[in-house]
Amino acid sequence: MMNAQTLTHARQALIEAAQQRLVLTDQVREQKRKIVDLEREVQQLAASAEQARQALADARNEIQALRAQVPDDATIRAYHSLVEILAAPSQGELRLAA
Protein backbone atom coordinates (compact mmCIF):
# COMPACT_ATOMS: atom_id res chain seq x y z
CA MET A 1 0.00 0.00 0.00
CA MET A 2 1.29 3.39 -1.00
CA ASN A 3 1.13 6.04 1.61
CA ALA A 4 2.77 9.41 2.17
CA GLN A 5 5.57 7.98 4.31
CA THR A 6 6.51 5.38 1.66
CA LEU A 7 6.50 8.01 -1.06
CA THR A 8 8.57 10.38 1.10
CA HIS A 9 11.16 7.63 1.72
CA ALA A 10 11.22 6.77 -1.98
CA ARG A 11 11.67 10.43 -2.88
CA GLN A 12 14.49 10.82 -0.35
CA ALA A 13 16.18 7.68 -1.68
CA LEU A 14 15.97 9.03 -5.24
CA ILE A 15 17.46 12.37 -4.14
CA GLU A 16 20.31 10.63 -2.32
CA ALA A 17 20.93 8.37 -5.32
CA ALA A 18 21.01 11.39 -7.65
CA GLN A 19 23.45 13.19 -5.34
CA GLN A 20 25.64 10.10 -5.14
CA ARG A 21 25.53 9.82 -8.93
CA LEU A 22 26.72 13.45 -9.25
CA VAL A 23 29.57 12.80 -6.83
CA LEU A 24 30.59 9.64 -8.68
CA THR A 25 30.33 11.42 -12.05
CA ASP A 26 32.64 14.16 -10.76
CA GLN A 27 35.08 11.55 -9.48
CA VAL A 28 35.06 9.76 -12.83
CA ARG A 29 35.71 13.07 -14.64
CA GLU A 30 38.60 13.82 -12.30
CA GLN A 31 40.07 10.36 -12.84
CA LYS A 32 39.70 10.81 -16.60
CA ARG A 33 41.58 14.13 -16.40
CA LYS A 34 44.34 12.49 -14.35
CA ILE A 35 44.60 9.64 -16.86
CA VAL A 36 44.91 12.11 -19.75
CA ASP A 37 47.62 14.00 -17.84
CA LEU A 38 49.48 10.76 -17.11
CA GLU A 39 49.23 9.64 -20.75
CA ARG A 40 50.67 12.99 -21.84
CA GLU A 41 53.50 12.66 -19.34
CA VAL A 42 54.23 9.10 -20.48
CA GLN A 43 54.40 10.31 -24.10
CA GLN A 44 56.79 13.10 -23.11
CA LEU A 45 58.97 10.65 -21.16
CA ALA A 46 58.98 8.25 -24.09
CA ALA A 47 60.06 11.06 -26.43
CA SER A 48 62.78 12.11 -23.98
CA ALA A 49 63.96 8.51 -23.67
CA GLU A 50 64.14 8.20 -27.46
CA GLN A 51 66.15 11.42 -27.68
CA ALA A 52 68.49 10.12 -24.98
CA ARG A 53 68.91 6.81 -26.84
CA GLN A 54 69.70 8.71 -30.05
CA ALA A 55 72.20 10.97 -28.26
CA LEU A 56 73.85 7.89 -26.74
CA ALA A 57 74.08 6.21 -30.15
CA ASP A 58 75.58 9.39 -31.63
CA ALA A 59 78.09 9.59 -28.78
CA ARG A 60 79.06 5.94 -29.26
CA ASN A 61 79.57 6.54 -32.98
CA GLU A 62 81.71 9.60 -32.27
CA ILE A 63 83.79 7.70 -29.71
CA GLN A 64 84.30 4.88 -32.19
CA ALA A 65 85.39 7.37 -34.86
CA LEU A 66 87.80 9.02 -32.42
CA ARG A 67 89.23 5.66 -31.36
CA ALA A 68 90.08 4.98 -35.00
CA GLN A 69 92.17 8.17 -35.00
CA VAL A 70 94.23 7.24 -31.93
CA PRO A 71 97.58 5.84 -33.04
CA ASP A 72 98.44 2.31 -32.01
CA ASP A 73 101.52 1.43 -29.94
CA ALA A 74 103.62 0.58 -33.01
CA THR A 75 102.91 3.99 -34.56
CA ILE A 76 103.80 5.76 -31.31
CA ARG A 77 107.07 3.82 -31.02
CA ALA A 78 107.94 4.61 -34.66
CA TYR A 79 107.23 8.28 -34.06
CA HIS A 80 109.47 8.37 -30.98
CA SER A 81 112.22 6.59 -32.88
CA LEU A 82 111.97 9.13 -35.69
CA VAL A 83 112.12 12.01 -33.19
CA GLU A 84 115.24 10.49 -31.62
CA ILE A 85 116.91 10.15 -35.03
CA LEU A 86 116.02 13.72 -36.04
CA ALA A 87 117.13 15.11 -32.67
CA ALA A 88 120.47 13.28 -32.75
CA PRO A 89 123.56 15.19 -33.88
CA SER A 90 123.80 15.38 -37.65
CA GLN A 91 124.83 12.13 -39.22
CA GLY A 92 125.30 13.39 -42.75
CA GLU A 93 123.38 11.36 -45.26
CA LEU A 94 120.96 9.82 -42.76
CA ARG A 95 119.86 13.25 -41.56
CA LEU A 96 119.24 14.42 -45.11
CA ALA A 97 117.29 11.29 -45.97
CA ALA A 98 115.01 11.78 -43.02
Looking at this protein, which amino acid is placed at residue 31?
Q
Residue 72's φ and ψ, nearest 5 degrees, are -80, 175
- The ranges assigned to domains in the chain are 4-97
pLDDT by residue (tens digit) across 8-63? 999 999 999 999 999 999 999 999 999 999 999 999 999 999 999 999 999 999 99
Distances (CA, A) of 95 to 75, 79, 80, 81: 21, 16, 16, 13
Query: Of the candidates 21, 20, 17, which has an alpha carbon nearest to the alpha carbon of residue 9?
Result: 17
H or E element that contains 55 = helix 4-69
DSSP class of 23: H
Higher pLDDT, 28 or 92: 28
pLDDT at residue 92, as a whole number: 55
The Cα–Cα gap between 2 and 10 comes to 11
Looking at this protein, which amino acid is placed at residue 93?
E
